[in-house]
Amino acid sequence: MQVKAPTTQNIGAATVTTGVMSILFVDDEPSILSSLKRLFRPKGYQIHLAEGGKAALELLEQLAVDLVISDMRMPEMDGVQFLEQVRQRWPDTVRLLLTGYADIASTIGAVNRGEIYRYISKPWDDADILLIVHDALEHRTLELENQRLEAVAQVQNAELKKAHAHLESLVALRTTELTSANASLQTAHEQLKSNFITSIKVFSSLVELRGGNLAGHSRRVADLARRMATHLGLESKQAHELFVAALLHEIGKVGFGDDMLTTAIVNLTPRQLDLYRRHPARAEQLLTPLPDLKGSTELIAAQLERFDGNGHPRRLAHDAVPMGARILVLASDYDNMLSGALAKRKLSEEDARALVEKNRGKRYDPKVVDALLAVLDRMAREAPHKTAIAERKVGVHELQAGMVLSRDLITPSGLMMLSAQHLLDDRMIHKIVDFEKSAELNLFAYVCVDQ
């Protein structure tokens, strides 16, 4: 991840800081602090360490910190007490809780008093904690950007009406989309072209707002591609770029009509097929202004290349096709086979495997085919042994602070609102209820229950 030097912009009464994100880790165990420092420093963050709440508060009085991760159990001042003080004195700092104890009462206390964004269990998974921190900082950035847009709308409203009247509706639509997540797909497309603060999760959900076979496709492909990358031993940077590319690989379809999105690829007319083959180039155009996504953009641009050299647009073959793109095309095709987006009908897992084997060495790299089959076999073996999560289905009006989601909270159109294991508070529940009402939906959530 390339990190820019921090800058500060003053817009009316709002001050927005952009650039290098800083993280403060608070734990009474030096070994834990060292592990977190080694994990996060290569990602381009500014890292600060404190062995206890008192030392952390002294450091916060001197330095501006974007995010704090605190251990729950510490001498003198525990994580709840510390995060409560951080909330009171530095409310804009994102707060995460790191705990190795199944102490739900303490965790709820941290949520209510410290208003934490999320809690992380010890021992943590490196990939998971990196994504959680990335999401938390992205959430903070989006809030700051929303403040900036509102300030601009207030301060420059008169000038915009005179000099840029045609942009006024666009600004209003951007604000609406940021606050309600219910703007139309075309408005989201225009917002992507002009807004330099973007979110990977927003990107990956844009096309899926249209529903049909696309709902959940990108998330399933991203999960399958990451498993295949691990099996093939890709470096962490390559695996991360592939995961992001899988989330965004459908973004070039934002201009497709409903008939294109609901028609299986084999049933497309020649004109439609020509348009379909251009969607990786369209995605590349949209993502090129974002230098942090350069590696992922290259994989998206090559997603229609074939191993045998008969793909599009450059007819690359064998190792000339990036390994990430070879994984991406197979993961995407396999999911499309099962959903009916690729062939005239939905294929069974057995038929999909047979079709993959048929294209071994042609459309697909044999090594990548072996990885897919190995991953699918492993997932099938693990499925019966997974411990079932005790859960119940509730309407959003039944949600209560302290509940934990057992599944992703997803709208009927496929838009993910919250991820599994998210700890709900009153503020978030209020937002969910407002969204259900404004979108005229009937939403349900699955929450964990005590066994």
- In this prediction, the residues of the chain whose per-residue pLDDT falls under 50 are 1-18, 182-198
Please give the Cα distance from 94 to 84 (Å, whole number). 12
pLDDT at 50: 94
Give the domains, in start order, of the chain with CATH numbers: 7-126 (3.40.50.2300), 140-199 (no CATH), 207-385 (1.10.3210.10), 391-448 (3.90.105)
| Residue 278: predicted pLDDT | 86
Three-state secondary structure call for residue 50 = strand
SS3 306: coil
Check residue 267 and give its pLDDT.
76
Beta strand 416-418 with 444-448: parallel, antiparallel or unpaired? unpaired
Amino acid identity of residue 289, one-letter, is: P
Say if pTM beats, i.e. exceeds, 0.75. no
Q: Which two tokens stand for residue 39?
A: 């994990």
Residues ≥6 apart with Cβ < 8 Å to 289 = 196
The pLDDT value given to residue 197: 32
DSSP letter at 51 equals: S
Q: Name the E strands within 72-223.
A: 94-99, 118-121
Alpha carbon 297 to chain centroid, angstroms: 16
